[in-house]
């Protein structure tokens, strides 16, 4: 079974180096301040990520319909 295909698992995509920098700049933060995701998280599926990468999560929200979230990948 592939959990990333499940209806309840939101879509995870890797953020490019440039987008990542833009993200950090818009919020005036360093990687430290971003929420985290474990590298072995099943939601990441076969995504080619390493520690320090940022993933974009698009998920449904009861208040906003759809919402975008960013997480930095951390090692176990």
Which residues are near another protein by CB under 8 A?
26-29, 32-35, 61, 63-64, 67-70
Q: Token pair 């990520």 is at which residue?
A: 49
Q: Given the complex with another protein, which of 2 and 66 has the nearer CB atom?
A: 66
* DSSP state letters, 46-71: T----TT-EEEEEEEETTTEEEEEEE
The burial class, CB within 10 Å (0-12 / 13-18 / 19+), for 47 is middle
Q: How far is the CB of 42 from another protein (least distance, A)?
A: 23
Q: Given the complex with another protein, which of 2 and 28 has the nearer CB atom?
A: 28
Q: Given the complex with another protein, which of 35 and 48 has the nearer CB atom?
A: 35
Q: How far is the CB of 64 from another protein (least distance, A)?
A: 4
Q: How far is the CB of 18 from another protein (least distance, A)?
A: 19
Among 57, 15, 17, 59, which Cα is nearest to 37's?
A: 57
């Amino acid at each position: 079974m592939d959990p990333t295909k499940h209806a309840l698992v939101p879509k995870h995509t890797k953020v490019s180096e440039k987008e990542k920098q833009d993200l950090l700049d818009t919020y005036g933060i360093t990687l430290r301040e971003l929420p985290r995701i474990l590298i072995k998280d099943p939601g990441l599926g076969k995504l080619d990520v390493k520690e320090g990468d940022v993933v974009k999560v698009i998920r449904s929200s009861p208040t906003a319909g759809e919402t975008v979230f960013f997480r930095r990948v951390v090692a176990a």
